[in-house]
Amino acid sequence: MAEILVYVDHVDGAVRKPTLELLTLARRLGDPVAVALGNGAADTAAALAEHGAVKVLTADAPEFAEYLVVPKVDALQAAYEAVSPAAVLVPSSAEGKEIAARLAVRIGSGIITDAVDLEAGDEGPVATQAAFAASFTTKSRVSKGTPVITVKPNSAPVEAAPAAGAVEALAVSFGPLATGTKVTARTPRESTGRPELTEAAIVVSGGRGVNGAENFAIIEALADSLGAAVGASRAAVDAGWYPHANQVGQTGKSVSPQLYIASGISGAIQHRAGMQTSKTIVAINKDAEAPIFDLVDYGVVGDLFDVVPQLTAEVQARKG
Amino acid sequence: MSLRIVVCVKYVPDATGDRKFADDLTVDRDDVDGLLSELDEYAVEQALQIAEEADDAEVTVLTVGPEDAKDALRKALSMGADKAVHVEDDDLHGSDVMATSLVLAKAIEKTGYDVVIAGMASTDGTMGVLPAILAERLGVPQVTLLSEVKIEDGKVTGRRDGDSASEQLEASLPAVVSVTDQSGEARYPSFKGIMAAKKKPVESLELDDLDIDADEVGLEGSWTAVDSAAERPARTAGTIVKDEGEGGKQLAEYLASQKFI
C-alpha cells in the first residue's frame, strides 16, 4: 500500500489534535508515515501509533527552534526522499502552510491548502475546499508531482486505529537557506486555559455589540461554562477590546467548530469568511435585520447583556 | 546604493460582491468589480514607510493579471509607489499559485530587488503561501507574517505573532517579507497622489519577456486542477426568537436539545 507522509504538529512531544485528524484522512489514502521534528519529537510516537502511524520518523536539532521554517522543510524533504510517498499531508496552521508550500516547490508538486475533506480518487487524492467565504464548495486535485495538501482543523474525526508506529531517526542535512531567517527572541503566548481557537468544538465570539474590553468577561464566562474557545470579530479587535490572535474572519482565524455562538456580531462578509463552515450557528443580536441571522440555526433577537449571562447561568445550572 | 523594493499585489473580485466561478472553474471576473486586494494595501503601506526611512529607495509594484489588473497598480501608485510592472498574457488565464509564483519570481528577478513585500494572503484564494513560495523560488530568506517590520543596515527585522508565541525575526537582504493587517493602517491616496499616478511608468511584460513557456502556466499548465465548484445550498431558515426575558433560557433549551449541554 502507498505510504502517506503526515507532518506532525506537536508541542514538546504532545501531539496536537489536527495531526490526529490528519491520520484519519491519511488512512483513507494509504499507510501513514509520520514526521515529527524538534524538541520531544520521539515522545509523539505512542499517540501517533495509537492513531494509525505505521512509522514515525523523528529528528531534533537546535536549528528547528533557532531559524524560521526552512530547517523543517529540509527535514520534511529528507523524509519525502526516504519514503517516496503518494501524498504529503500537513496541518493548515500558518507555519504548516509555509512548510508545505516550500516543500511543494522543491519537489515540483502542486499544493492545495485548507482542505476540509479528503478522499481517494482515480487520479490521486481529491480535496474538498470552501471558497469565497464558504459560499462555494470545490473539489480539486494536484495534477503535477506528489500531492502536497494542507488540511484545516476539525476536518475529520480523531479515530483510534493502532498501528506499529516504529520510531526511526531521520537523517537531515541542512541546506544553505536553513539559517537564513534567525529567530532572535520568542515570547510564548500566555495560556488562557481555554481550548485553541481553531481546534475548539465550541467557539463563543463577541463583536461590536460587546462594547468594551471589560465586557468581554461576559463572553468569556459563557465560553468557560461550555468549555469553549473565545473569538472576536474584526471590529472588536480593531477597537482593541480583544487580542488579534482571537480574531475570527478573513484576516484572522478560520474556524469550523461543532457550535459557533456569535454575540453582538452583525455578520459582515469579513466575519462570515471565517466561520460560515461551522456546523451549528447561533447568534444573539439586538438588530433583527443583522445579516448574521441569515446564517443561523437558532437566533435570539435581544440585548446580549441580558441574554448571554442568563444563558451562562442556565448552562451552569444544567451542568450542575 | 538605492534600496529596491518590489511589492507583489493582486487584483481580486470585491468580496462584498456576489463572487462565483466561471464555466471553466476559474474565478469569474466579469460579474463582480475588481480591486486591489485589501491585504496588499498593508504591503504597499509598509513598503512606502520603509522607503521613507531609507536614504534612497524605489518602490515598484508588480502584478500578474488581465488588463483590468492595472487598476490595482494604479491604486498602489496613487498611494505613493514609484513605478509598476504588469505581467499580462492570454496564456496566463487560470494559473494557480505555483504557475503565478513562477511568473512573479521571474519578473522580480528581471526588475531587480533587495526586498520583496507581499500581503499575508489574497482575499480571493486566501491560501497565504505565496510569500514562502517566492522565497523558495528566489533562494532568499522569508520573513513572513510580520505585524512589525523594519529595514536597516542591509537587514530586515520584524515581529511575527504566531498561535503559540510571538517571535522576533532577523534576516539579511535580499529577502521576501509578508505583512499582516496588524502592521499598520494603509494610507488613502491623496488627490495629488491620484493625479501623479497617471504619469508614473507602468511596464508591460509578456511571457516571452520572462522566458516562460505557455505550457508552464495557465489552466492547462498549472499544478492543480479544480474538478467541480458548487454553490453551498442556502441554509434552511433557522429558528429566531425575540428575547422577552427568557431568551437565554430558550437558547439553553435549544443547545441542550442539540446535546451541546
Tell me the one-letter amino acid at A178: A
What is the rounded distance in angstroms from the CA atom of residue B135 to the CA atom of residue B104? 11
User: What per-residue confidence (pLDDT) applies to A133?
Assistant: 87
Q: Using one digit for the tens of pLDDT, what is the confidence trace for B199-240?
A: 999 999 999 999 999 999 999 999 999 999 999 887 788 999
What is the rounded distance in angstroms from the CA atom of residue B251 to the CA atom of residue A94? 35
From chain B, pick out residues whose CB is under 8 angstroms from the CB of A110. Answer: 96, 98, 222-224
Share of chain A above pLDDT 70, in %: 100
Distance from CA of A163 to the nearest CA of B (A): 30
**Four-CA torsion A91, A92, A95, A100, nearest 10 degrees:** 70
| Residue range A1-21: mean pLDDT, rounded | 96
Share of chain A above pLDDT 90, in %: 95
Task: Provide the pLDDT confidence category of residue B25 given band limits of 50, 70 and 90.
Answer: very high
User: What per-residue confidence (pLDDT) applies to B237?
Assistant: 84
Neighbouring CB atoms inside 10 A of B153's CB total 7
Rg for chain A, CA atoms, rounded: 21
Query: Which residues, in sequence order, are CB contacts of B154 under 8 Å at separation 6+?
Result: B172, B173
**Bridge partners (DSSP) listed for residue B8:** B62, B118
User: What per-residue confidence (pLDDT) applies to A234?
Assistant: 95
Residue B205 · residue B110 · CB < 8 Å: yes
From chain A, pick out residues whose CB is under 8 angstroms from the CB of B175. Answer: 180-181
Please say if the pLDDT value at position A41 is more than 70: yes
Distance from CA of A249 to the nearest CA of B (A): 11
Q: Using one digit for the tens of pLDDT, what is the confidence trace for A264-315?
A: 999 999 999 999 999 999 999 999 999 999 999 999 999 999 999 999 999 9
Please say if the pLDDT value at position A63 is more than 80: yes
User: What per-residue confidence (pLDDT) applies to A69?
Assistant: 98
Higher-scoring residue by pLDDT: B173, A270:
B173
| Residue range A53-79: mean pLDDT, rounded | 98
What ipTM was reported for this prediction? Answer: 0.96
From chain A, pick out residues whose CB is under 8 angstroms from the CB of B172. Answer: 180
Higher-scoring residue by pLDDT: A317, A320:
A317
Please say if the pLDDT value at position A45 is more than 90: yes
| Residue range B170-176: mean pLDDT, rounded | 98
- Selecting from A111, A138, A281 the residue whose C-beta is nearest the C-beta of B229 gives A138
What is the rounded distance in angstroms from the CA atom of residue A63 to the CA atom of residue A65? 5
- Selecting from B130, B170, B226 the residue whose C-beta is nearest the C-beta of A182 gives B170
From chain B, pick out residues whose CB is under 8 angstroms from the CB of A144. Answer: 98, 222-224
Neighbouring CB atoms inside 10 A of A99's CB total 27
What is the rounded distance in angstroms from the CA atom of residue A309 to the CA atom of residue A206? 13
Query: Which residues, in sequence order, are CB contacts of B207 under 8 Å at separation 6+?
Result: B87, B89, B91, B92, B103, B213, B214, B217
Pick the residue of B29, B98, B138, B244 with the most A CBs within 10 A to test the interface with A by mutation.
B98
Please say if the pLDDT value at position A319 is more than 90: no
Share of chain B above pLDDT 90, in %: 92
Please say if the pLDDT value at position B128 is more than 80: yes
| Residue range A62-75: mean pLDDT, rounded | 98
Please say if the pLDDT value at position B1 is more than 70: no
Alpha helices for chain B (secondary structure H): 38-53, 70-79, 97-111, 130-138, 191-197, 218-221, 247-257
Residue B69 · residue B63 · CB < 8 Å: yes
User: What per-residue confidence (pLDDT) applies to A191?
Assistant: 84
From chain A, pick out residues whose CB is under 8 angstroms from the CB of B258. Answer: 259, 280
- Among B259, B223, B188, which residue's Cα sits nearest to residue B98? B223
| Residue range A61-73: mean pLDDT, rounded | 98
- Selecting from A130, A132, A298 the residue whose C-beta is nearest the C-beta of B251 gives A298
Distance from CA of B167 to the nearest CA of A (A): 4
Distance from CA of A164 to the nearest CA of B (A): 31
Which segments of chain A are extended strands (E)?
Answer: 3-7, 10-11, 14-15, 31-37, 55-59, 87-91, 111-115, 117-119, 126-131, 136-142, 148-151, 166-169, 181-188, 202-206, 229-232, 259-263, 280-285, 298-301
User: What per-residue confidence (pLDDT) applies to B174?
Assistant: 98
User: At residue A178, what are phi and psi to the nearest 5 degrees?
Assistant: -60, -35
Query: Which residues, in sequence order, are CB contacts of B153 under 8 Å at separation 6+?
Result: none
User: What per-residue confidence (pLDDT) applies to A176?
Assistant: 94
Q: What is the mean pLDDT of chain B?
A: 96
Tell me the one-letter amino acid at A294: D
